Amino acid sequence: MALHTGSSEPTHPPHTNPMATLASPAVGDAFALPEISLNEDPVPPDIAYQLIREELLLDGSARLNLATFVTTWMEPQAKQLMSDCADKNMIDKDEYPQTAEIERRCVGIIADLWHAPSPDDATGCSTTGSSEACMLAGMALKRRWEAKVRAEGGDLNVRKPNLVMGANVQVCWEKFCRYWDVEPKIVPMEGERFHLDADGAVAAVDENSIGVVAILGSTFDGSYEPVAEIAAALDKLAASGGPDVPVHVDGASGGMIAPFLDPDLEWDFRLPRVSSINTSGHKYGLVYPGVGWVVWRDKDHLPDELVFNVNYLGGNMPTFALNFSRPGSEVIAQYYCFFRLGRSGYVDVQQASRNVAMNLAEQIGELPEFRLITKGDQLPVFAFTTSESVTGWDVFALSRRMRERGWQVPAYTFPEHREDLAVLRIVVRNGFSQDMAHLFFQELKGAVQSLNEESTSAAMSGPSGFRH
């Protein structure tokens, strides 16, 4: 192993085993981190930890990341439980029966939150995140459509399934359509309508539609799609002899907000047309990544052919996830949050995030340089753009200026038909306090002032990236 010296020729320490050099205070300088091939010898664990940790300092601060929906803070007790369970494989249900039981409890708790008909016998599972959960829900929709076509005597060889959704869907739905050979029927944004509505959904569905995806919490602006209105319009269409199309609710974020903050909002299994729902435990479920959940209305909505009975390590177990081996840590952490917080605790945490979002949005909206797109009163998320008075800089320049101070605020354009609209988006999560929001607002005002002063010269622009 080469030492870092002033000489152009590498030298070697007297002892080739690096374990013998741990006492040296400069021992870290003797080791280079591997890039494309392994080093020849091992290194002491403290040295490996120190050098890798120092490289990771180049990452941005997770707590100052207002771009991500993903949880960036958990209590130390939750972290310890996750560490305790990192070596448990979720798929080994016969070997780790209590971890499997805790997963079952979580599915039941979530089914109860979403008003499933029988939460004590819920049909659902944990996943690595909402993307996998959406894939499973989409597969179930497609298989049920295929079974319906066969029952009606139709020919699957000449019919192309499609899935109706708004242009604001997360990319996982486009991936689902591509991977499973389904035509995506995208309803574009129009004017000040930034997501799917009832009229757009009804106009897009046909006899080949396997389902409609309704988003409870758009990643573009934090707004809820009108799930009840979409379902009612589809009910009316089916009653008049039109296609009978189910709804899947992508509640990646809102599925863990609405049950606590909007209990009277009907978006879940209270609507008979809703066949399945997914959420991300690692978003407003308050768990570190990655864990997601998908729940079906009942067993009939999950086709039997998607469930595999696997004989593994001496046990026979049903499985219907895309992944196989994964740690039990995140499922245990989800159960910790459910037990630790209870219903009232979740209400308090989520309301605190919404309060911060709404207060911060109000302050930003009062600045003459900005116009609010949303107010943070649904998801604790809001988007805003520059007002007509701003001509010397744009949202991309402001995003870069805030990054110079450590704040990560994404700037991006909206999809087709509203590509003219460029916005900044702020995601408020648990741990982002009113004090931090105050500090952010002061930094924002300072950045705006400096950009205004520099507006006579060319301002930076160009996308800084959009993060779901």
Identify which of 219, 307, 233 has the alpha carbon closest to the alpha carbon of residue 271. 233
Alpha carbon of residue 104 to chain centroid: 22
pLDDT at 317 over 80: no
Our CA dihedral for 367, 372, 377, 381, rounded to 10 degrees, sits at -100
Q: Tokens representing 144?
A: 């049920």
Mean pLDDT (the chain, rounded): 90
Q: Mean pLDDT throughout 28-39?
A: 84
- Read off the pLDDT of residues 334-361 as tens digits, 9 standing for 90 and up: 999 999 999 999 999 999 999 999 999 9
CA nearest 273: which of 198, 371, 176? 198
Q: Please say whether the beta carbons of 248 and 137 come within 8 A.
A: yes
Task: Residue 318: name the closest of 134, 153, 87, 94 by CA.
Answer: 94
399 neighbors 411 (Cβ within 8 angstroms): yes
pLDDT value, residue 94: 79
- Quick one: pLDDT at residue 161? 98
**Distance, C-alpha 325 to centroid of its chain:** 21
Q: What element of type H or E holds 297?
A: none
Contact 424, 386 (CB under 8 A): no
Q: What confidence category does residue 6 fall into, taking pLDDT thresholds of 50, 70 and 90? A: very low
pLDDT at position 318 is 65
Give the tens place of pLDDT for each residue, 136-169: 999 999 999 999 999 999 999 999 999 999 999 9
- Separation of alpha carbons 66 and 386, rounded Å: 18
* Per-residue exposure over 243-261, b if at least 16 CB sit within 10 Å of its own CB, e if not: eebbbbbbbbbbbbbbbbb
Residue 311, pLDDT above cutoff 80: no
| Neighbour count for residue 14 (Cβ, 10 Å) | 6
Give 46 or 181, the one with higher predicted confidence.
181
The pLDDT-based confidence of 269 (bands split at 50, 70, 90) is very high
CA–CA distance, 22 with 464 (Å, rounded to integer): 43
- pLDDT at residue 5, as a whole number: 44
Q: Please, where in the chain does CATH 3.40.640.10 lie?
A: 72-468
Residues 243, 201: Cα–Cα separation, whole Å: 12
pLDDT at 4: 45
With a cut of 60, say whether residue 387 has pLDDT above it.
yes
Alpha-carbon distance 266 to 243, whole Å? 23
- Answer whether residue 27 shows pLDDT above 70: no
Query: Where is 108: in which H helix or E strand?
Result: helix 97-113
Give residue 32's pLDDT.
83
pLDDT at 429 over 50: yes
Flag whether pLDDT at 72 surpasses 80: yes
pLDDT tens across 202-213, in order? Answer: 999 999 999 999
Element (H, E) at 278: strand 274-280
pLDDT at 93: 79
Q: Coil, helix or strand for 310?
A: strand
Class of domain 72-468 as given by CATH: alpha beta
Percent of the chain with pLDDT over 90: 78
In this predicted structure, the answer to whether residue 312 has a pLDDT above a threshold of 70 is: no
Report the pLDDT averaged over residues 18-24: 50
Confidence grade of residue 396 (pLDDT, cut at 50, 70, 90): very high
Q: What is the pLDDT of residue 254?
A: 98
Residue 125 host element (H or E)? strand 123-127
